[in-house]
Amino acid sequence: MCLAEDKFREECGVCGVFGHPEAANLVYLGLYALQHRGQESAGICSSDEKQLHLEKSLGLVADIFNEKRLKRLPGYAAIGHNRYSTAGGNNPKNAQPILANYSMGQLAIAHNGNLVNAFELRKRLEDQGAIFQSTSDSEVFIHLIAHSKEPELRDRIIEALREVSGSYSLILQTEKKIYAVRDPFGVRPLCLGRVEGAYVVASETCALDLIGATYDRDIEPGEMVEISANGIETMQALSAPRKAFCIFEFIYFARPDSRIFGGITVNMVRKKQGRRLAIENPVDADLVIPVPDSGVPAALGYSEQSGIPFEFGLIRNHYIGRTFIEPKQSIRHFGVKIKLNPVRELLEGKRVIVVDDSIVRGTTSKKIVKMLREQGGAAEVHMKISSPPTTGPCYYGIDTPTRQELIASSHSVEEIKRYTTANSLSYLSQEGLFTTVPNPEDFCSACFDGSYPISFPGQKMQLELLF
């Protein structure tokens, strides 16, 4: 489900290629596959071994890059970035990769995640004379590296990483090398593959699949990979007391066909969530329908476990432009109707189970229930959510509302049910959720239980500025 007023949105997707004559073209395709991770801006930086070349803009990948623009990105190495802003807002200056000139040459960076101590680091760097060109937390990395006194770039990167706190899957590029780094908790995914002798780094394996690359392995939490003409070198740059993979990657963010966090297929986990949801929360009904698109695998799992037929009772419009003009006259629930439409022939007079991945503010769920009754003619509407109640915001790269805006933080399940007007409402338990993934102790579930694995500065002002 992709309804902006009631959903999480993940920050970014990154992709890099080293050692291929069409590196920029392959990164372009990788970003196209990762478009779901960010739709506000996209950019590609390439290297011809003498200098870096950058093209970036606001908009979607396919709208920004054409053949003429890609020809301005020569060389055998390139990195790319899709952005959805969490820290910094939708500003053209915040589009990535960020390219800078410093004492050792040129450096470009593409960052997925969020630094929880960016505010205090930025203030310290500005006091030391740094001039920031953007409001993105990602630019902090550039200044930390530039200010370092270490003689080797890899040591400067490690020194910078030791100062930041938060989540990051990073790709950095110089004229002759690419570095890929993952934070020591491993919050965001990052994988390594190969195509025609070239190395590929990407947020998800769906990017590898599109360009015909093999999936070799994940870049491990705290690992830094250096790729050059001499091959690949790896080092354990940082360590943490535990892993903290984001569980919401499996619930909502990652593409169903991707393999993340050790090669686990997202689609299979989501189907398991649906099966477990059916075991925990059975109900007599005639039909199981998903809220497309992210609710589809869980709805299939619910249907398989319960034996209740599955149908696409809600059809999603995939072609809504960013500048869509709403009608001047008032149309009830227009924001939902333009994205979803019920199939009355399937729903009329039926007891319908609606499976969605999460409820954030609750406003969209309420509109969907009413739409299914009023337009679809459903006799009963039962909401089934394939994750636990979301009670806390995320500080690690997800644009979640404040705690006050999260309906489950201040309302019981029964109260949320009454608000949405559903006949019944059930969530997957946290215990049930963790039966769907291996090694559940390796996952961050702070948005459900408030147990934040990475501490952040206590200044309220900082959190207000960042989130």
DSSP 171: E
Q: Are strands 198-202 and 191-195 parallel, antiparallel or unpaired?
A: antiparallel
Beta bridge partners of 192: 201, 217
Residue whose C-alpha is closest to residue 30's, from 256, 262, 209, 179: 209
- Distance CA(9)–CA(39), nearest Å, equals 10
CB-CB contact of 235 with 223 (8 Å): yes
Neighbours of 25 (CB within 10 A): 20
The one catalytic residue among 2, 12, 246, 444:
12
DSSP 443-459: EE-HHHH---SS-----
User: H-helix or E-strand containing 107?
Assistant: strand 105-115
Location of structure tokens 């201040």 = 410
Instruction: Assign 382 to helix, strand or coil.
Output: strand
CA torsion, ordered 241, 247, 248, 250, to nearest 10 deg: 130
- Taking CA atoms, 181 is separated from 113, 210, 443, in Å, by 12, 23, 19
Alpha helices, H only, 363-427: 363-374, 413-420
CA atoms lying within 13 Å on the CB side of residue 456: 22
CA torsion, ordered 427, 428, 429, 435, to nearest 10 deg: 180
Residue type for position 428: L
- Distance CA(57)–CA(41), nearest Å, equals 6
| Token digits of residue 204 | 């998800």
**Catalytic residue at 12?**
yes
- Distance CA(418)–CA(14), nearest Å, equals 41
- Distance CA(364)–CA(456), nearest Å, equals 31
Q: Any idea which residues carry the catalytic annotation? A: 12
